[in-house]
Structure 1
């Protein structure tokens, strides 16, 4: 896709972003919510040529979007359209695109915005990204048209380790390359074989029948804009695990939420009975020289200390003769069901300690893992009303 005009943020930085020159280093444990506001300016005053007013009048399909990693493309200029793009650009249908579930093929979140039922209007949606899925792509079909649409291809939202706060993209119409029609209401005339996706400008395609052909203009006024704004960030729950080298020992997890939720602490103690070392005092016949009571007590104390020292030495010797014992864990459980039926939630899996570590062996690692799950595609818009 040829680079759109940028009316917010530094153009040089965003040029690097769209070309993939700026690497993504955002924290994968941070879930970020963005809002996209799509504003359309398709009016008879701005685009008078062959402006459609009935059967059907000028309007826009729903906006179809995906947040994703670099391996995914909803569309890409210079590449032949997928079957899913062909179906959407010609018929506004998304059956093929929807067949790829969230979480597959590099897709993180699927989202839609309602259609705009006239040429001039606006619509909006919200979507999620994380540090492993920092790009967003979206598109809306020009209705009526042979196979034309507007869209954003793989916009990078993470720049130098930070999420972009706001950006506005001005877009031109795109040709999916699957239909040969030149006008808004031209009959279906399939392109065989399909041609690569191209950008429609005021002078290209340079055919007088083309509905967007305006040879007296250097470029089109904006047909639409995509205004993308960061709304909120969430921190994925952190999991901590204590060491099991000492007795009594304790393992615990802390539920640390940035949304103000209650923090819960799970404690599981391994109780070890302490052993009190005692010694019997044996009375013996008195020595020829009778000792005072204090001298006798001092002798008993000295003998007890010596006895305890010798016993401790024997125990330490036995410990040193045995090899360290590493912690051993069970297999991971299955992932739990998603915590949210609408939007992005969390899934948890756990494991248990089969054998604690001893004598300096490898301590037990984390007993719990958490990952993102779910999608905002089918949510009611009130879900995002903070």
Structure 2
């Protein structure tokens, strides 16, 4: 019984995890409500007026932390909270998609961005700096968009101002006054910090009005694997442009040569012509045919559909008659087969259906400048389908994959 108890946490964890084979796209929408009506105390009207920096966000696993209340923020977050610098911000282990959204040039406004998550990177962290402010910002820390094994369709999170714990200023326009030693990040409330000069100190309020909301809206889901046909597979492969011929017909104008489209037919199925002019088949149940003309070649045909060339009209007539009778015999079930229908099905699968090789290895993950790319693997067609056979299956397969997010392209969008 004890080993069952050990497995229970693993089962519960797997049920709470979203499918890692699906990649989901979310839209992040930031609404800000920093207005004089809601926050009249020390409201900044100029040098500079109330506004917000560009948004920095990242989707990641549970191992990654952008910031955490109650802990000291790292140097890149300190620089971002105090001055809006983004040059030191970078992705790390456990990150998937780094994204940014345009700045809001006034206290109340809206901005948005899209980002990817998957079952292994289901959390999102996002932040934006208040301008002007000592080291204040708004943000969401490691919010999990996967709940009970399902992706949230939409969620709106109300946020309060946050203090990075790196500057002692109490007002929006306070001079630079570094905190030494550095403090921890914390949430600003209507009563904390409890300093009467504080710009957010409203002791008569139970709580501050929400200064912003982060909304996450699920846009679409992608399967990790996507199977598709190559363009070359859509091309038509015409064996012969003669409407009334099939793969068992004799091409009389071409020296009595049959259509050679069944190159994979086994040699034992081919009829054999002996020195005395007799034509037989390997199956003992098949009757044999005799050609009395000695001018017929004794060379063994290369396949069942390629017969020796005749030189006279009598030879050609005999070959036509032989071919018709041989074709009729081939359609008859073999007496040694317990199930003629199964035998015909096996022969059809062997001779008419398309055959493909095993899948090759996945290619390296490629992207177009974002953190999300694709990998490709292929397989080749060994034999194309004959008339009446099953068509070839897809010969290429791609899948979504996460690439290195340490590139600098997204940083350029944050400045």
- Normalised-by-shorter TM-score class: 0.5 to 0.7
Secondary structure of 2:166's aligned partner: coil
In structure 2, distance between residues paired with 1:112 and 1:158: 22
Q: In the alignment, which of 372, 378, 384 is matched to residue 344 of structure 1?
A: 372
Q: In the alignment, which of 173, 191, 213 is matched to residue 179 of structure 2?
A: 191
2:71 is matched with: 79
Alpha-carbon contact 1:77-1:196 (below 8 Å) kept: yes
Q: For the structure 1 residues 263 and 174, does the alpha-carbon distance in structure 2 shift closer, same or farther, using more than 3 Å as the test?
A: farther
Q: For the structure 1 residues 34 and 89, does the alpha-carbon distance in structure 2 shift closer, same or farther, using more than 3 Å as the test?
A: same
Alpha-carbon contact 1:66-1:109 (below 8 Å) kept: yes
Q: For the structure 1 residues 80 and 226, does the alpha-carbon distance in structure 2 shift closer, same or farther, using more than 3 Å as the test?
A: same
Residue 169 in 1 paired to residue 157 in 2? yes
Q: In the alignment, which of 380, 401, 410 is matched to residue 372 of structure 1?
A: 401
Q: CA deviation at 1:369?
A: 7.2
Q: CA deviation at 1:370?
A: 3.8
Secondary structure of 1:372's aligned partner: strand
In structure 2, distance between residues paired with 1:73 and 1:192: 23
Q: For the structure 1 residues 342 and 119, does the alpha-carbon distance in structure 2 shift closer, same or farther, using more than 3 Å as the test?
A: same
Q: Structure 2 length as normaliser, TM-score?
A: 0.59
Q: For the structure 1 residues 95 and 349, does the alpha-carbon distance in structure 2 shift closer, same or farther, using more than 3 Å as the test?
A: farther
Q: In the alignment, which of 223, 228, 233 is matched to residue 235 of structure 1?
A: 223
Q: CA deviation at 1:74?
A: 1.1
In structure 2, distance between residues paired with 1:106 and 1:75: 14
Q: Cα RMSD between the aligned structures?
A: 3.9
The equivalences for 1:1-386 within 5 A come to 24-97=16-89, 99-100=90-91, 104-238=92-226, 254-255=227-228, 274-276=266-268, 335=364, 337-338=366-367, 340-341=368-369, 344-348=372-376, 370-373=399-402, 377=410
Alpha-carbon contact 1:61-1:141 (below 8 Å) kept: yes
- The total of aligned residue pairs comes to 285
In structure 1, distance between residues paired with 2:176 and 2:34: 23
Q: CA deviation at 1:132?
A: 1.1
Q: For the structure 1 residues 40 and 279, does the alpha-carbon distance in structure 2 shift closer, same or farther, using more than 3 Å as the test?
A: closer
In structure 1, distance between residues paired with 2:412 and 2:24: 17
Q: For the structure 1 residues 40 and 95, does the alpha-carbon distance in structure 2 shift closer, same or farther, using more than 3 Å as the test?
A: same
- Which runs of 5 or more residues in structure 1 are unaligned? 1-20, 239-253, 257-261, 282-299, 302-308, 310-328, 353-365, 381-386
> Greater CA radius of gyration, 1 or 2?
2
In structure 2, distance between residues paired with 1:279 and 1:177: 94
Secondary structure of 1:116's aligned partner: coil
List per-residue Cα deviations over 1:319-370 (Å, max 9, x = no partner): xxxxxxxxxx9995761532x3457331336799xxxxxxxxxxxxx99774
Q: Structure 1 length as normaliser, TM-score?
A: 0.63
In structure 2, distance between residues paired with 1:264 and 1:213: 69
Q: For the structure 1 residues 379 and 35, does the alpha-carbon distance in structure 2 shift closer, same or farther, using more than 3 Å as the test?
A: farther
Q: For the structure 1 residues 279 and 23, does the alpha-carbon distance in structure 2 shift closer, same or farther, using more than 3 Å as the test?
A: closer
Q: For the structure 1 residues 60 and 280, does the alpha-carbon distance in structure 2 shift closer, same or farther, using more than 3 Å as the test?
A: closer
In structure 2, distance between residues paired with 1:129 and 1:255: 24
- Which runs of 5 or more residues in structure 2 are unaligned? 1-12, 235-262, 275-283, 286-335, 337-357, 381-394
Alpha-carbon contact 2:104-2:110 (below 8 Å) kept: yes
In structure 2, distance between residues paired with 1:181 and 1:255: 59
In structure 2, distance between residues paired with 1:83 and 1:273: 72
Alpha-carbon contact 1:63-1:138 (below 8 Å) kept: yes
In structure 2, distance between residues paired with 1:137 and 1:129: 12
List per-residue Cα deviations over 1:293-335 (Å, max 9, x = no partner): xxxxxxx87xxxxxxx9xxxxxxxxxxxxxxxxxxx9995761
In structure 2, distance between residues paired with 1:179 and 1:122: 28
In structure 2, distance between residues paired with 1:47 and 1:78: 25
In structure 1, distance between residues paired with 2:167 and 2:401: 39
Alpha-carbon contact 2:365-2:373 (below 8 Å) kept: no
List per-residue Cα deviations over 1:106-152 (Å, max 9, x = no partner): 11101111111111111111111111111111011111111110001
Q: CA deviation at 1:263?
A: 8.3
1:3 is matched with: none
